[in-house]
Amino acid sequence: MNLPIQPSTRIFCPSIDAAIDDALAARRLVGTVVMVARDGEIVYRRAAGLADREADLKAREDTIFRLASITKPIVTIAAMRLIEQGRIGVDDPVTKWLPDFRPRLEDGSEPAILIRHLLTHTSGLSYCFHLEEGPYVQAGVSDGVDQPGLSLDENLRRIASVPLLFAPGTGWQYSVSMDVLGGVIEKETGKRLGEVVTELVMRPLGLSDTGFTVSDRSRLAAPYVDGSPEPERMGETEKVRALDGSVTFAPDRIFDPASFHSGGGGMAGTASDVLTVLETIRKGGAPLLSEKTVRQMTTNQIGDLLEPTRPGFGFGFGWAIVLDPAKAGLPVSPGSLQWGGVYGHHWFMDLAKKITLVGLTNTTLEGMWGQFTLDLKKAVAADL
């Protein structure tokens, strides 16, 4: 693997070690891989716990995880490459590629959804898990981590059948927008999303372990759900309470070649691959993107739309931006980027301090928004 970052220099990070040890000892996590880069050099890397508890298989640095929403920034980068090439325009309507994708507002009007609305989750679309038994559930919409074998065309049809929550650009709602963007990318290129991501993102960086299929099943971590006295292994289908609804998981979805490539949650990969992609952005984008495009991606694109629900946060293209760390309650610099994945992952990038952390776990929801994620941020602040 040709990592575009300097060889690892492991430095003493007692606080990061303690955050990992505490989460494992308290049985809030089953296994994890944590990597930290500072100024282009990996300064911390550790695999801990078990990738598969029942098989007594230890987590390793090359363990592969189902990435869920860590897919989003990767697909965003592929989209931005097509934008730089002039093949997609940020202010183009989605109907340019998907003429039948025309969701309406409750009043029956049909506003235009632009590519920028998909990139920033201001499209008026939603996710099933936001509202228990809501219209997305009733329409059979897939959140991208369930319903093995479902085609993209059918999922887009289902999404378009549900009324928009608001006029595009007037609100913010985490949503299936990236799955719609995946449909745009497929129509523009004439290829499946996975092929495009490989060609535009992974191959130029020399990465081969991350994609919409699993490169080596023997390295794939088993998925677990928060539980007491310890996390429980996911079944064939697992419904997990989250926020004001629930997420339905089908862990074997990724093995079904008929499953649509979910731009919002369909990839699997390693911590080192994810770190390499993020570090490419932190260092200015080469060889994937121009510095001008990266500045656009890392600039708040939504004004104060997140202020009522997520004080201190904005949103760029592909990730949340911490505009006011005090309001957000986070020990990071203004302008830091972050996101996660519902299978149990979290990353953040402190642009001012040139620090990127990737923490992949096999335990949802603790690894995505539990105490572990805050402990890691505090530990990085203390150690680095």
Is 246 a known active-site residue?
no
Q: Could you tell me the sign of the dihedral formed by the alpha carbons of 60, 66, 72, 74, in that order?
A: positive
Distance between CA atoms of 50 and 271, rounded to whole angstroms? Answer: 15
- Confirm if 171 and 124 have CB atoms less than 8 A apart: yes
CA 11 to chain CA centroid, Å, is: 28
Q: Which residue type is seen at 261?
A: H
The catalytic residue among 69, 123, 126, 177 is 69
Cα 101–Cα 177–Cα 130 angle in degrees, nearest 5: 110
For residue 5, what is the DSSP state? S
380 burial via Cβ count (<10 Å: 0-12, 13-18, 19+): buried
User: CA 30, CA 232: separation in Å to the nearest integer?
Assistant: 9
Token couple for 37: 């880069």
**Which DSSP category does 79 fall into?**
H
Instruction: Name the phi and psi angles at 313, rounded to 5.
Output: -115, 150
Would you name the residues annotated as active-site residues?
Answer: 69
